[in-house]
Amino acid sequence: MIFETISTSGHEEVVFCHNKDAGLKAIIAIHNTVLGPALGGTRMWNYANEAEALNDVLRLSRGMTYKAAVSGLNLGGGKAVIWGDPNKDKSEALFRAFGRFVNSLGGRYITAEDVGIDVNDMEYVFRETEYVTGVHQVHGGSGDPSPFTAYGTLQGLMAALNVKFGNEDVGKYSYAVQGVGHVGMEFVKLLRERGAKVFVTDINQEAVRRAVEEFGCEAVGLDEIYDVDVDVYSPTALGGTLNETTIDRIKAKVICGAANNQLATDQIGDELERRGVLYAPDYAVNAGGLMNVSLEIDGYNRERAMRMMRTIYYNLMRIFEISKRDGIPTYKAADRMAEERINTIGKLKLPHMGNHAPRFLGRRAN
Ligand code: NAD
């Protein structure tokens, strides 16, 4: 059953990690390493059962392959899940035991933070392995990726505006931003700095207040965000907000935001295309965080990271071109671009280079 699942999803390796004394139950899934080591975060979640944990790690690791490939990174896709309650089950031993499993893969998998894991947990992982990114700045790491994700989203937005409206003047347009958390708040700041009209909503009223008072946004209700008459809808909170009930309400001609898994189903992506709404594929738009941590591999540099965000603009342009070239919706074009890159680069034979483990420079655990 497991082999059948893995072979259909195309995974290279799935590692079950167990340490009784540390209470560790984890799964590391390496989906594809054709372009480079598999980089992807570790999620800690209280799954209902093993099958749920396995499905989650398989789905998420495959997503990382596509995100890295479409972003032009020399990275493959992987992800890990720790089965446990992040509020109760964390300990030094748990994360160090996990770090040893990561280390045993010799750099084929590089981890980072994801839901349920923070930078302090990663400190313990970092004591056991160097194959970890998103470590604290005091160790030469890259710190919080959110400002980079927001800036990358702005680059993707400019590409979308160019294709849809023929100019990239961000300030000329109006926006409905759903979610002003770590990424969303930075994003609305960038929009307002450019003079744009911005509507925001969030379940966190304090965040809404800040967006209004500090950045001059206009607040709307949680459900109202779909009805505001704007040029761009930006999902920056949750996944699945583009669905059968919302797309009839959204008037925006461009959809571009940082949330993961925005399309509830592929059919919604087809329908947006049919209606002439330009959807900027989420995993290409929100790759700024991944780009940022990837720079830890050969020595983190903030200026280089900011410059790298600009490539998101060109990646989006290429996706829109493929969509036009092949007459397919943009979400499919993003997948095709990723697959084409894996295929062509995978066929390059560079026998003198071989496969070597990544070297991390400029960081130390203690
Ligand atoms: P966050 O938790 O800081 O912010 C999410 C915000 O959305 C919170 O303020 C929350 O209150 C709000 N929210 C939740 N449910 C809502 C609802 N129903 N309506 C309106 N607001 C709601 O998370 P974040 O780091 O800002 O990430 C935002 C999205 O971007 C997520 O989907 C995340 O997966 C994705 N993303 C983030 C990064 C990053 O660098 N942080 C990178 C890639 C993708």
Q: Is 354 left (phi over 0), alpha (psi -120 to 50) or beta?
A: left
Q: What is the pLDDT of residue 358?
A: 75
By most ligand atoms within 8 Å of CB, the mutation choice from 43, 117, 149, 206 for ligand 1 is: 149
- What type of residue sits at position 226? Y
**Is 67 annotated as catalytic?**
no
Task: State the Cα angle at 144 between 142 and 148, rounded to 5°.
Answer: 85
pLDDT (0 to 100) of residue 282 = 96
Q: What is the mean pLDDT of the chain?
A: 94
> Which pLDDT tens digit goes with each residue over 99-125?
999 999 999 999 998 889 988 999 999
Tell how far the Cα of 7 is from the centroid of ligand 1, in angstroms. Answer: 32
Two domains, one topology: 2-139 and 146-288: yes
Fold of 2-139: Rossmann fold (3.40.50)
Distance (angstroms) between ligand 1 centre and the Cα of 3 equals 34
Q: Is the pLDDT of residue 336 over 80?
A: yes
Rounded CA gap, 77 and 40, in Å? 6
Helices (H), 71-110: 92-104
The three-state (H, E, C) secondary structure of 249-269, written as one string: CCCCCEECCCCCCCECCHHHH
Distances (CA, A) of 213 to 176, 187, 203, 219: 17, 15, 17, 10
Q: Which two tokens stand for residue 293?
A: 């941590």
Asked whether residue 61 carries a pLDDT value surpassing 70, the answer given is yes
Least confident of 13-27, 102-116, 350-364: 350-364
Ligand 1 in reach of 260 Cβ (< 6 A): yes
Query: Cβ–Cβ contacts within 10 Å for residue 191, how many?
Result: 27
State residue 144's pLDDT score: 84
> Looking at the predicted structure, is the pLDDT value of residue 351 above 70?
no
DSSP annotation string for 310-363: THHHHHHHHHHHHHHHHT--HHHHHHHHHHHHHHHHHH---TTT--------S-
Residue 181 known to bind ligand: yes
166 labeled binding residue: no
* Residue 355, pLDDT above cutoff 80: no
Given a cut of 90, whether residue 57 has pLDDT beyond it is yes
Q: Kindly report, residue by residue over 287-308, the tens digit of the pLDDT.
A: 999 999 999 988 899 899 999 9
Min mean pLDDT across 5-14, 18-27, 67-76, 171-180 is at 5-14
Measured from the CB, is residue 179 less than 6 Å from ligand 1? yes
What's the pLDDT score for residue 350? 63
Query: How far apart (Å, rounded) are the C-alpha atoms in residues 56 and 80?
Result: 9
Ranges of H-type helices in the chain? 2-9, 50-70, 92-104, 119-128, 146-165, 182-193, 205-215, 266-274, 282-285, 288-294, 302-309, 311-326, 330-347
Catalytic residue among 25, 79, 197, 253: 79
Per DSSP, the three-state class of 159 is helix
Q: Pick the residue whose CA is nearest to atom 30 on ligand 1.
A: 259
Task: Report CA(357)–ligand 1 centroid distance (Å).
Answer: 33
Tell me: pLDDT of 354 over 60.
no
Per-residue model confidence (pLDDT) at position 141: 87
What is the predicted pLDDT for the residue at 78? 98
Close Cβ partners of 305 (under 8 Å, ≥ 6 residues apart): 142, 148, 291, 292, 295
The answer to whether 185 touches 207, Cβ cutoff 8 Å, is yes
Looking at the CA of residue 259, tell me the nearest atom of ligand 1: 32
Tokens, residue 42: 């570790």
Contact 154, 171 (CB under 8 A): no
Here the contacts of 196-200 (C-beta below 8 Å, separation 24 or greater) are 196/170, 196/171, 196/172, 197/173, 197/230, 198/174, 199/174, 199/175, 199/225, 199/228, 199/230, 200/176
pTM for the structure as a whole: 0.92
Q: Where are the domains of the chain?
A: 2-139, 146-288
Query: 200 pLDDT band (50/70/90 cuts)?
Result: very high
Q: State how far Cα 107 lies from the chain centre.
A: 21
User: What average pLDDT does the segment 204-229 reach?
Assistant: 98
Q: Quote the CA–CA distance of 242 and 272 in Å, as a whole number.
A: 9
The reply to whether ligand 1 has any atom less than 6 angstroms from the CB of 181 is: yes
CATH, range 146-288: 3.40.50.720
